Amino acid sequence: MLELTTGTTSTTPPAASPAWTSEAAWSLYRLPFNDLLFKAQSIHRQHFDPNRVQLSKLLNIKTGGCAEDCGYCSQSSHHSTGLPASKLMEVEKVVAEARKAKEGGATRYCMGAAWRNPKPRDMDAIVEMVSAVKGLGLETCMTLGMLDREQSDRLSAAGLDYYNHNIDTSERYYPKVISTRNFSDRLDTLEHVRQSGMKVCCGGILGMGEEEVDRVEMLVTLANLPEAPESVPINMLIPIPGTPLADAAPIAPIEFIRIIALARIMMPKSFVRLSAGRSAMSDEMQALCFFAGANSIFVGDTLLTAGNPENEADRKLFGRLGLQAL
């Protein structure tokens, strides 16, 4: 495209068009439910075995005392949830837990710390954890809050495969959930992670009082990143007493499943993880989520500070559905 100005000619190419427009995403979301699920399952089968699900394990390596005011979080120092703060776990204990997770069938190990951002004094231990867990043959993932480029480079050099940093919701609704950082801060961390050579794990939470359009816009933002996240966790809010969202109305199951299907269509090569909130889902709801394209779950009876289905419940569900661990 040539831009003509007085006496000069510019050959600067126009900005790339977004992969997904809001209108296109909304049109898909509003398809008849059967049509939406059929399309999502058809796309899912082009890129994944439809009967295999990745098992991940998440360990809270530092609990509570977070300076952020995320309205959903039990670990925020702004909320009176009764959760005590803890110090960073010792490396040896983290590795021992990772070894047990591998023996239980997990192939990916995620470690989370309740921080706004890691402090320099914590980085040596964090790097040691990554290297040790990686040495067990597990895929590694961490969520530590915001990162600068130097920190993301150190994690990448240690062998971290994925970094999780959710955008949580749409840019429009974000200030109603969190005030201690901006939506753009989230995107900056994602860019540092990508530039450092790690894979991005990024999704959101449904049921925080947002509108359906906010859920769709969240996926539009993710799908239009320079590269779509390789892992997209979709969480259903677990209302925690003492948090601002303790009394949030639950999302309707069909609305939740629609977002799973839309995520699969818009990011066909990504793992779509059915994350927090599974304890409140029926087997039938989870089955429809798997049919809609979810192909990863967290295993173990605890997910950070909240409950999660026990291994035996997941084993029975997989048996009923004919699913196998990836």
> Catalytic: which of 108, 154, 186, 201?
201
For this structure, is 73 an active site residue?
yes
Tell me how far apart the alpha carbons of residues 250 and 277 are, in angstroms, rounded to a whole number: 11
For this structure, is 110 an active site residue?
yes
For this structure, is 273 an active site residue?
yes
Which candidate, 241, 248, 252, 246, places its Cα nearest to that of 282?
A: 252
Angle at 131 between CA 129 and CA 132, to 5 degrees: 65
> For the chain, where are the alpha helices, taking DSSP H only?
22-29, 33-47, 91-103, 120-134, 149-158, 183-195, 212-223, 253-266, 283-292, 311-321
For this structure, is 66 an active site residue?
yes
> Catalytic: which of 66, 186, 202, 278?
66
How many residues are listed for the chain in this entry? Answer: 326
> Catalytic: which of 258, 273, 278, 289?
273
Sign for the pseudo-dihedral over CA of 19, 204, 76, 115: negative
Please enumerate in sequence order all residues whose Cβ is within 8 A of that of 42, keeping only pairs 6 or more positions apart, or say none. none
Sign for the pseudo-dihedral over CA of 40, 41, 42, 47: positive
CB atoms closer than 10 angstroms to residue 276 = 23
> Catalytic: which of 110, 186, 258, 264?
110
Tell me how far apart the alpha carbons of residues 84 and 313 are, in angstroms, rounded to a whole number: 29
For this structure, is 289 an active site residue?
no
Strand partners, 10: 3
What is the secondary structure of 115-134 as a DSSP string?
A: -SS--HHHHHHHHHHHHHHH
**Would you please indicate which residues are annotated as catalytic (active-site) residues?**
66, 70, 73, 110, 141, 201, 273
